[in-house]
Amino acid sequence: MKKTTSSPDRFIAILLLIFAISSAMVASTYPINESWGGVASAWYVSPALLPLFISFCLFLLSITLFFRPSNSVWHDYFSGKASHKIWVICALVSFVYFLIPNIDFYLSSVLFLSLLVGRFHLVSDAVSKPLGFIYVVVCMFVLIALGLQHLLPLFASAPAPTLATNVADITDIIGVLGTAACIWVLHVHKVKVFLVCVWLPLLLVIGFRFLLLVPMPTEGSVILLLNEIFTQISSLFVGKGI
């Protein structure tokens, strides 16, 4: 196959070249012969030494890649459906940057799992579309709650964070119940799907939070409720001297 200027390797080579030059520029601002923190420095102990060496190597390698690209074209790379990939990446991004920092970890996990299982396992539009719809609605409500959190302090002394968190959590609980209802009503293999989407995240949260004592990234209504139950149960055992 003929090598073209639009070879993906060439595109990557240009990106790498820009990266190498910019990292070299940043590294050149580090102390080379000047003193740092009261300690006299020399070029051979400078913190810039390795970054400059790496930038130089990357520069040479990217030029080599530019002039000797493989014969592949864009179509040869990235197997599988592009729409599926975008779906997975969007779901991951919304889960990590949007749901995890703002709502209860269990609730966000259930929504995320339902979205992916609905899209890739249940396949049928009758199930995956409502699940996707619920996910988007919940995300929008979380967005509104976040807006409230930032706007309400501007007016009087409203308890903005509590109110916003409550709005987000209540929306999520409704979302999770809606998701559960969708799976229950619309799909025949509900036991398996329920196990993965509802029960396994619960087990994960219990395992990490109460056995490994790892606090969850965000602890909302469900984890606080679990905590309350766990405290009550352990106080029962402590009371009996077990």
Site of interaction with another protein (CB under 8 A)? 8-9, 12, 16, 23, 26-27, 30-31, 36-37, 39, 41-47, 49-51, 53-54, 57-58, 61-62, 64-65, 68, 70, 72, 77-81, 84-85, 87-89, 92-93, 95-97, 100-101, 109, 112-113, 116-117, 120-121, 192-193, 196, 200-201, 204, 208, 212, 214-215, 217
DSSP per residue, the chain: ----TT-HHHHHHHHHHHHHHHHHHHHTTS-SSS-BTTB---GGG-TTHHHHHHHHHHHHHHHHHHHS--S--GGGSS-S-HHHHHHHHHHHHIIIIIITTTS-HHHHHHHHHHHHHHHHTS--HHHHHHHHHHHHHHHHHHHHHHHHHHHGGGSTT--HHHHHHHHHHHHHHHHHHHHHHHHHHH-S-HHHHHIIIIIHHHHHHHIIIIIS----SS--HHHHHHHHHHHHHHHHHHHTT-
Minimal distance, residue 241 CB to another protein, in Å: 25
CB of residue 138 to another protein, shortest distance in Å: 17
**Cβ of residue 234: shortest distance to another protein, in angstroms?**
19
Task: Choose between 87 and 230: whose C-beta lies nearer to another protein.
Answer: 87
Please, which residue, 5 or 232, has the CB nearer to another protein? 5
Q: Closest separation between CB of residue 136 and another protein, Å?
A: 17
CB of 74 to another protein, least distance (A): 9
Identify which of residues 61 and 186 has a Cβ nearer to another protein in the complex. Answer: 61
Toward another protein, which CB reaches closer, 156 or 213? 213
